[in-house]
Each structure stands twice: as structure tokens, then as C-alpha cells.
Chain A
Amino acid sequence: ETGVTQTPRHLVMGMTNKKSLKCEQHLGHNAMYWYKQSAKKPLELMFVYSLEERVENNSVPSRFSPECPNSSHLFLHLHTLQPEDSALYLCASSQDWGTIYNEQFFGPGTRLTVL
């Protein structure tokens, strides 16, 4: 166990649905991340929150909306997704955002399928 949990583990949704992915970290970390893993592509950073403030938005379409209500929880709200958004969505946390030397701790991911 890495100390980072994600729910649900699997999600199937239609293009008109609204759903949310949840991430929780029990490590006392200050930074939380959303990544997307599409088939045969590298892990792609989507958003970063540091001390509950969004510090990175990697040109992600507005149909993905992150929320960080406190330092332990991170959500990714999904609305009007496209089939090409089907992917594995991983959450991660690290002690701090402001240094490259911190390792990141990952959750197991949510496998999303958009029909």
C-alpha cells in the first residue's frame, strides 16, 4: 500500500454523464497530482495542487475539472467526455511541490471507459 487510495477503480460512462474520481492520501503530503495514462503513451501530467492551490494545469480541456477541498483529498470532475478520454487516471502525492528531489506516491488508478 502506498498510502494513496482512489475510487472508483473502474468507471464506465456515457458522453453526456457527469461523474467524479476521488483520491485520498494518508501521508501528510502537501502536493497532489492527476495523471492520465493512455495506451502506449507516457504518463501525462494533468493538474497539480500544492497546499490546496492549483499550481499546474497542463492544457487540459475544460471537460475535466479538478477540486482540492483539503490537503488530503483530490477530485477530478468529469463532464461531457469523449471516447478518446478513455484511459487510466492516476492520482499521486509528494511531500512538497517546490523540489524535484521528492518521490511521488501513486494510487492504483481509475480505469475510465467513455462510451
Chain B
Amino acid sequence: ILNVEQSPQSLHVQEGDSTNFTCSFPSSNFYALHWYRWETAKSPEALFVMTLNGDEKKKGRISATLNTKEGYSYLYIKGSQPEDSATYLCAFPADYGGATNKLIFGTGTLLAVQP
């Protein structure tokens, strides 16, 4: 059974702190990894689709790296702000060969940024 693990489960930081969290996935037959941000009472929103080993993607203060050989991706937030408070989800293809858009989601990392 495919397993996507995220750690930590939750994180409390002060405004201005930089933080990072991890998504672990099976390292064989890699095709893509998705990151989503889910703010409370809103819709999950796509952040990145990571495809290449060594890839680094950036959106404002948020960036993500990818290591397909060891099966992990890091999400970094530089200078956290209260509006960064959300659950961050990663998702991995469920179907062999990446032939469909069927995703297996992790349980997420809940980030709370204190002003």
C-alpha cells in the first residue's frame, strides 16, 4: 500500500520565524509530487507540482525542494506570517506510471504562526 508521510503533524512558530516540514514518499518509480495549502474554512490550493530530482520551486516566501532518490520533499517558509497558518498537504500519484491524476494525500502538517 502506497504511503505518504508528513512530519511534523503540527508546528507552532512565532511571526518572523523560518520553518520547514517534510513529505516522505516511495522513492521508486517517481513521477510527480504535489504540495497544497489548506487554510481553515477555505479550499485547498495548489502550491507546487514537483517533477525533477533536485527541483526547487518558489512562490513568494514559500519554497520546496525534491529528492527523488531518497524519497522526500521539504517545504520551507521564510519569515512566517500569521496568514501562513494553514495545513500543508503533499500528495503522490496512486497509479503506476503516473497515467492518471489519482493522488494519495498525506495527513498534512498544521502550521500555526503566532503574531
B28 at the interface (CB under 8 A from A): no
Min Cβ gap A107→B in Å is: 6
Q: Which residues of A contact B93 (CB under 8 A)?
A: 100
Contact A100 B107 (CB under 8 A): no
Which range holds the interface residue count of chain B? 20 to 34
Contact A41 B107 (CB under 8 A): yes
Q: Which residues of A contact B99 (CB under 8 A)?
A: 98-100
A85 at the interface (CB under 8 A from B): no
Q: Which of A2, A43, A92, A94 has the most CB of B within 10 A?
A: A43
Which range holds the interface residue count of chain A? 20 to 34
- List the interface of chain B (C-beta within 8 A of A): 4, 31-32, 34, 36, 41-46, 49, 51, 89, 91, 93-95, 98-108
Min Cβ gap B37→A in Å is: 11
Q: Which of A40, A101, A109 contacts B49 (CB 8 A)?
A: A101
Q: Which of B31, B89, B103 contacts A45 (CB 8 A)?
A: B103
Q: Which of A42, A99, A108 has the most CB of B within 10 A?
A: A42
Q: Which residues of B contact A97 (CB under 8 A)?
A: 100-101
Contact B102 A108 (CB under 8 A): no
Residue-wise, chain A 93-115 has the 8 Å CB interface mask toward B (1 for contact) of 01011111111111111000000
